[in-house]
Chains A and B, each alone.
Chain A
Amino acid sequence: MNNKELPNHLKYLEDNLNKMARTRMLYSVISIAAIILILATGTYVAEESNAGSFVRGIDNFFDYPIALFAKTFDAGFSWFGYVLDYVPDLLYTFNMALFSTIVGAILALILSVFASGNLIKNKTIVWTARRIMDICRAFPELVLAITLLYLLGRSPIPAVIAIIIHTAGALGKLFSEAIENADNKQIEGLESVGSSWLSRIRFGVLPQVMPILLSYGLLRAEINVRASTILGFVGAGGIGEQLNTLIQWNFGAKITAVMFLLILTITLLDYFSTFTRQKLIGGSFIIPKDK
């Protein structure tokens, strides 16, 4: 189209539009280039530092699963016996996860009340509570658990303490976000009839946020089962420790038995928490994995 034919204001519009399109294009090209660059350098560094090359790894990729399945097949029906053998260890791990989720959620609830701007007017308290939660959250459970394991010896307690601390931080942040998003009118209504601070929380906030808190807690329980399995690997006991020993001794059939139990538990928990969440809040919220 010939620009000269257009009236002035339309010409101005079109120029601007082209300009914006160009900027947009530039941004897209830059970000795509950046992603490609990151991928390229990453693969290069990986290829340099990895023990074996990628191609060799791809060749061996199916070796281990096939070997495992072959051994499982050899074991025959006694494999089901193995599965039952490891149920107590699974319960042990589950116990760790559940207890730390409950204690962590209680701590998170207390922390989140102090970190919510609509309940606490003092900015210093809110800021301090938020930073405490940030610090609790930033430590990967594993780092804390290994340190405590070294101090306290091999037992589930270090793992439980580590998970409690991480859960308190992670859930506390989500809880306080939920509380801050709660409807303020109910709190104001209770305030107008002269209710105390505690009863404002009890009758104004909790009924609104309880379903969301419960669903966050459920999701956390699921994550904590995974976490306590992993912590078993470094000495906290339970099914993780069993799996570690089995892998070192290369007992193929037993490894698949433990893996089967783990996958079953995680999948069941996943479905259970999705189902319960749907009942509680009538929909599937997308919730970050580890927040």
Chain B
Amino acid sequence: MDKVSKEFLEKHSDIINIKFSKYLRSFFYLFLIISYSIFAFYSLGFNKLTDQFKPDFAAKLIQDSYSYKDHINTKWSDTSDVTISYEGGAFTKYDPKDFPEWFLSDTNKHSVIFNNQGIIDIFKDRIEMKGFGDEEEKNLLLTFKLLNGKPTVEGYTFDDPKLPKWIRITENKVEVRPSLFERLQVYSEKIEIHRFQFGWKYFFFDFASPFNKYSSSELFLLFFSSNRLDPEISNARFMFNEFLSNEQWFHGLVFSSLRDTIFMAVIGTLFATIFGLLLAFLAAINITPFNFVRFFIRRFFDSLRGIDFLIWSLIFLRAFGPGLYTGILAIAFTDTGTLGKIMSEAIENIEKNQNEGVESTGATRNQQHRFGIIPQILPVFVSQSLYYFESNTRSAVILGAMGAGGIGLLFLDSIMTGANFENVAYMSILILIVVFLMDTFSQWLRRKLIGNVFVAIVK
């Protein structure tokens, strides 16, 4: 090695020869993180995840979110008397004169035709089922009968190995579920058939609505037609009312809850920005000469921020009851603290020259603030307020579920009752859309107002 390279190597030895201890340190951090993650993985119970997870239950709920079912009920005592109801509801029974087209009545039997071309026939003393399961099982004709008052499958015992896997025979029930979309339950007294179909039925007009029997093109014509269905109000108005008062999807309730949630976020953030900005002037060292005022306001901001919006919402919930005020005030209180702190830092970091320039023209103190300081902090103010507005849309949903009302509470309620998962899916899609729209709107506004710059304050 020549002299020059040797010198070069010696000169930059600290760069070229990285000390072993430095390697060791990064490995130590990595080791720490990995060992903690392993510890947390076990302490949080991730290893037991498979025990808790019930795939059948999950599959049923997920299926419920995108499909609906019709119940076909009858009794062994009189199988000619069949009731068909949407989702098994007491108030959503189909009129016997107007049964769906997949239900055929003959002199001695009723037939239910499924989407996979499988047929269940209901006779006076037996039920026949054909065309379900895999290719081989499709040719099988299964007959269900009452034997000594107990439901049985003809030709099979309860532990028969030849019995298709999707049939389960117990003491007083035979449960048949070839796939998620068909289900037959035979009891000693009654017979219940569930026929699942893809889609969100009665989404626009509920079961009892007079608009149900029209196709979409007919509805379009009706909307503008002057032949009133209800002589009191116009068709358009009637349709709108029917849509909002939908008994299955609760559009009116969902939309008013969404409105509440959006109001919570908007009004809460507006109050926070207004009070935060005003108080920020009092907390800035170059505006307020009194130290104790500054100290007091600073600690006030800290305590507003430190008491999380969760705890604020609990206190307000007691005072104002469930409703918008709780959400608005919880957001306003927390964010007044945060925005106030940010704004006061921004005011302290302004360029003095502009303020002095305004002062030199003989402006009063208020005019100095207006023309010397506000134009400088306006970009920070706008961008921060809009950032907070964005995140507060999400906070408002969370606050709602904590008891403040709005879509959050409605969502929590509908999932806890656990009956209609399609409503849960509908609401979560709406929440996603609203959050996404709010994000896009505030980003658009920010870009419009202050251009595409990232505003950051470096002390």
Contacts and interface: CB of A to CB of B under 8 A. Distances in A.
Interface of A: 35, 38-39, 42-43, 45-46, 49-52, 54, 57-58, 60-61, 63-65, 95-96, 98-99, 102-103, 134-135, 138-143, 146-147, 150-153, 155-157, 160, 177, 181, 226, 229-230, 233-234, 240, 247, 259, 262-263, 266-267, 270, 278, 282-286, 288-291
Given A38-B266, A155-B52, A263-B307, A54 B45 contact: no
B324 A284 contact: no
A291 B387 contact: yes
B401 interface: yes
Interface string B368-403: 000000000000100010011011001101100110
Given A64-B319, A99-B44, A146-B411, A291 B390 contact: yes
A230 B314 CA distance: 11
8 contacts: A46-B324, A52-B320, A61-B316, A141-B398, A150-B418, A160-B46, A233-B310, A240-B310
Contacts of B431: 139-140, 143
Contact of B402 (A42, A99, A233): A233
B391 A288 contact: yes
Q: Which of B271, B319, B390, B418 has the most CB of A within 10 A?
A: B319
Contacts of A177: 454
Closest 7 CB pairs of A and B: A50-B323, A51-B321, A290-B391, A46-B324, A57-B320, A99-B40, A283-B458
Interface string B243-271: 00000000000001001100100110011
B222 interface: no
Nearest to A103: B37
Contact of B319 (A39, A57, A146, A266): A57
B259 A45 contact: yes
A181 B41 CA distance: 35
B8 interface: no
Nearest to A231: B398
Contacts of A247: 314
Contacts of A283: 457-459
B325 A142 contact: no
Interface string B271-298: 1000000000000000000000000000
Contact of A63 (B52, B61, B319, B435): B319
B214 interface: no
A130 to B, nearest CB: 13
B439 interface: yes
Contacts of B58: 151
Contacts of B432: 135, 138-139
B347 interface: no
Q: Which of B52, B271, B436 has the most CB of A within 10 A?
A: B52
Nearest to B307: A263
B391 A263 contact: no
B394 A152 contact: no
B364 to A, nearest CB: 20
A229 B260 CA distance: 24
